[in-house]
Chains A and B, each alone.
Chain A
Amino acid sequence: MDDSALIPKGVKRCPFRQFALWIGIAGIVLLWGVYAMFLCWFKGLNQTNMNDAYGFALWIWADLAVIAVGGGAFFSGFLRYLVGKDELKNIINYAVLIGFICYSSALLILAIDVGQPLRAWFIFWHANVHSMLTEVAFCLSCYFAVLTIEYIPLILENRQINKVPFFHNLAHNMHEIMAIFAATGAFLSFFHQGSLGGVAGVLFGRPFSYREGVLIWPWAFFLFTWSAAAYGPCFTILITKITEVITGKKLVKDNVIELLAKISGWMIITYTAAKLIDTIYWAAVTAPSMGFTIDHFFGTSIYGIWILGAELILGGIAPGLILISEKGRKSPFGLWVAVIFGVIGVSLNRWVMVLQTMAVPVLPFEEWYLYIPSWQEVATTVLPVAYGVILIMISYRYMPIFPQEQELNPID
């Protein structure tokens, strides 16, 4: 089969057979996840290891983590369209694609987690307006619509589709008012990222995650938004770099990556400073006022004090310092280390806010309660990764994702 007519002009792609082989390999992993997903839907949540102690488990961690790292889309859009960082136009398409994958994955995981996906519309029609999760559901769905709108023009710019005048005009018109959609996306993202932190922050029966705050918003609300804006670009850079390694091509110029890395670095440093202040205040004032000391929350080898150190130092201070230093972010090794540590750091933060919150005993007769996910939970969490790989492969092959690719990789 020859699909060369669909491939963007002026760029080179691998033979179709090779492409199909890799799609097939990722497809097998995808099917494994789909099988587990149908088991959960048809047999129920008894397929998981969740229980009364762990109503939130691996899926919710995965949700929070992909939403955090998917924050690169809204923050890059904010910087590109509202702040006017024009260089970012060369990476914004990929940031949108990554965000689209992350948010569709989050919605897919939620569709499995709610157990009754056919009743998902209840949250809109019978909304509990006192719940942070209602706000998350509203903004998540709306922002996914925004990301879809941002992704559609890329599909319409496929060489063959773009020949159809209506699709050509539609893509052009959507580009023209994209700043309005990007601003709406930034507004929506600010609130749902925050409310995900707010969910943990308002749990006064769970003093590990409970935080004081301002009006109805606990400090965790602001820290979650801040961290998504800080670490989202790290994930965008990481996936871009991985794509460059796999394709064997330079796809984005260094000045674009360095600009995003620098902004991300300053966001990480300021976020980590705020997180440190928050942690010290929580350990010194909030937790003691509820009858707990910090030792109580880090009482096992799995959830030892090391986890807090890893999150703040390896996942916060280290990547932040590397990225704000010109020498650090210009060094390929330094950049790789910083973005990998950054992504692990924010994922670790979401892990402790979901899983450690559930594990810590809160009553005198309780013990530490540890949880190991079932294979169905693991398979359905790996499912979005396989889906993401497939969507990136198809998008890279058939859509003009990287505007600088042709210039950086001239064909003789």
Chain B
Amino acid sequence: MFPFSFEWAWDMSHYVFHGGLWYALAIIGLGMTYCIGKAVIDTIQGKGGGHH
């Protein structure tokens, strides 16, 4: 649910529940975007020859 949904109410319950959800999703999303983006750049730069 987003603030523009008709069910949304500007109260503490919505701030806490949805704030927590978006916060967690943002960390997961940004973290994975960073990992994938950096992997693309690293690969273009020729890093990672198959040895770990």
Report B21-52 CB contacts with A as 1/0, cut-off 8 Å.
10011011001101110111011001111111
Q: Which among B16, B39, B46 has the highest number of chain A CB atoms within 10 Å?
A: B39
Q: A125-B1, A127-B17, A129-B13 are in contact. Are A169 and B25 (CB under 8 A)?
A: no
Report A109-148 CB contacts with B as 1/0, cut-off 8 Å.
0000000000000001111011000110011001001100
Q: A126-B7, A184-B24 are in contact. Are A169 and B48 (CB under 8 A)?
A: yes
**Binding site of A, secondary structure by majority: helix, strand, loop or mixed?**
helix
Q: A138-B17, A142-B28, A163-B50 are in contact. Are A170 and B1 (CB under 8 A)?
A: no
Size range of the chain B interface in the assembly: 20 to 34
Count of chain A residues with a beta carbon within 8 Å of a chain B beta carbon: 34
Q: A165-B47, A173-B38 are in contact. Are A129 and B17 (CB under 8 A)?
A: yes
Q: A142-B28, A162-B52, A165-B48 are in contact. Are A173 and B17 (CB under 8 A)?
A: no
A170 touches B36 (CB 8 A): yes
Chain A residues within 8 Å of B43, by CB: 165-166, 169
Q: Which residues of A contact B (CB under 8 A)?
A: 124-127, 129-130, 134-135, 138-139, 142, 145-146, 149, 157, 162-166, 168-174, 177, 180-181, 184, 187-188, 191
Q: Which residues of B contact A (CB under 8 A)?
A: 1, 5, 7, 13-14, 16-18, 20-21, 24-25, 27-28, 31-32, 34-36, 38-40, 42-43, 46-52
Pairs A–B under 8 Å by Cβ, sample size 12: A127-B17, A129-B14, A134-B17, A135-B17, A138-B21, A165-B46, A169-B42, A172-B48, A180-B27, A180-B31, A184-B24, A184-B27
